[in-house]
Amino acid sequence: MPGLRRAAASGEGNRQSRPVHLRLALEELGPTFIKLGQILSTRADLLPPAYISELERLQDRVPPEAFETIRRTVEQELGQPITAVFDSFDSEPLAAASIGQVHAATFPDGTQVVVKVQRAGITQVINEDLEILADLARLGATHSALLRQADVAGLVKEFSWTLRSELDYRREAAHVDRFRQAIGSDSQFRIPRVYTEFSTRRVLTLERIDGVRIDQYDPTGTADTRGATIAARLVAATAFQVLRTGMFHADPHPGNFAVCDDGALAIYDFGMVGAIDDQLRDRLMLLALAVSERDASRIVDEVALMGALPSGWDRHAMERDVSLLVSQYIGASLRDLPLSMVVTDMMDLIRRYGVQMPSELALLAKTVSMLEALSRRIDPDINVIAVVDPIIRDAMRQFYSPAFWIRRYRLQPLDALMLGATLPSQVQRLLWRLDRNDLTFNAHVADLPDLLRNLNAMVNRLVFTVMTAAAWLGTIFLYRGVDPDMTAFPGVLFLLAFIVLGGMVAYGLYAMWRSAR
């Protein structure tokens, strides 16, 4: 691969070039692996910062597909000639990526739209790649305890679901509609309308909203169009999405945002959307409160409740490290700290202790870091925490609302009644099995296969050493019993056997010592 050779020829050291090699390899392997790298770039809880930074640079821009192929796809999906639907349809795409490309078009009534069209044959290519990834994940998990701990098979399964969802533009259309409903009549934001009657699994037709790309926007202007206002609006939009709708735009790069003439923020491309449930959202707000209060014990509690802890995790050690981390923030206002620094420090700690965080949370952490970087390009003086803090505190008022607790526990009386109805029969069956001495328990120990494998290897080394030592000692007794002439063939044979078996005993003892180490 030419890209890999160029990276190897660079002046970077081997350790520094490995992330570069990984990125170049994924780009060479095609769209599925590029998407995999982009997803992995959101998992700061799994990969070191050097790999995260390099995977963020993955690009899936490819040469556009021939317009005749695009025309056939549109006509097949819409069931009529392209000229019957659109008054004009630009043959040159506005943007081209590995899965699809976007074209400008106009309806007969003059309405300007953009049409997102999927590449021909891309579904088959991605399905084949996903099968290969699944096989590699199963093979890796079989032979590596580290990959099993990271649940690589689960990650590939989740990635497969995400990528296959991107292949169905109807899902993206549903996301757009939900976000439009969430913002309602708020004039600060613009989300394109979906033309459902001209959208299918492989074609998505959206309202065209013109504006200046957010990183090319002139920050001077009125109060509503200044850079500081636009940057704060960008941050507030994501905070509102997370805390109010449970969904958030998870791909905040500059090409997905534009500033309209009136200063409204236009948001595009809802192919990658994150979602968190009510319980995780509540835990996030409590974690934010614990961080603001610098309560190390509560921070550990919230992290433990949100993630899957590895067996044998050391709570006291983790709490000590959190205390050391929090001590760095003492004397500084939390509002003066970069949010990305707080998130990065927390993710480093989570990765160090092997805590498996929900993928939604990892995606949110990545989105927050990207969002802060983008907002600082617009307004270098922005304080993201200062913008988000009042939104979080406003959302936390729900914990003091009786309506919130009534809604949260509205099904609890029903659950209690159902438990009361089934409990007597369950207790009766339990007592009956106890009376017959027929009660058994099944336990699953996650690390038992590794433990048995290591124990088996240790026993094999011990048996090998004992048997070799016995043979070594046997040569000594045979030599003393036979007492051959050391210059004759039997004497030389005994000497060679003594040396070889002695070396094998030494090797066995060394292997046992090294295993114990």
Find all residues with CB under 8 Å of 330, minimum gap 6, and list them.
294
Q: Are strands 189-190 and 265-267 parallel, antiparallel or unpaired?
A: parallel
Q: Alpha-carbon distance 468 to 370, whole Å?
A: 62
Nearest residue to 79 (alpha-carbon basis) of 200, 194, 206: 200
From start to end of 240-288, where are the E strands?
247-249, 257-259, 265-267, 273-275
Nearest residue to 166 (alpha-carbon basis) of 138, 216, 220, 127: 127
Decide: 94 and 269 in contact? Cβ < 8 Å. no
Q: 214 exposed, middle or buried (CB, 10 Å; 0-12, 13-18, 19+)?
A: buried
Nearest residue to 164 (alpha-carbon basis) of 192, 128, 116: 128
Tokens representing residue 49 in the block: 């910062």
Tokens representing residue 289 in the block: 């409160």
Catalytic pick from 129, 251, 269, 379?
251
Q: Alpha-carbon distance 274 to 285, whole Å?
A: 17
The DSSP call for residue 241 is I
Question: 225 φ, ψ to 5°?
Answer: -120, 10
| Measured CA distances, 102 to 12, 63, 110, 256 (Å) | 38, 13, 19, 13
384-396 and 359-378 helices, crossing angle to 10°: 130
User: Is 210 annotated in the active site?
Assistant: no
Tokens representing residue 199 in the block: 């959208």
Tokens representing residue 118 in the block: 């999927």
Q: Are strands 112-118 and 100-106 parallel, antiparallel or unpaired?
A: antiparallel
SS3 string, 124-182, reads HHHHHHHHHHHHHHHHHHHHCHHHHHCCHHHHHHHHHHHHHHHCCHHHHHHHHHHHHHH
From start to end of 459-509, where are the E strands?
none
Q: 411 exposed, middle or buried (CB, 10 Å; 0-12, 13-18, 19+)?
A: exposed
Q: Alpha-carbon distance 12 to 376, whole Å?
A: 29
The DSSP call for residue 106 is E
Catalytic residue positions, numbered: 251
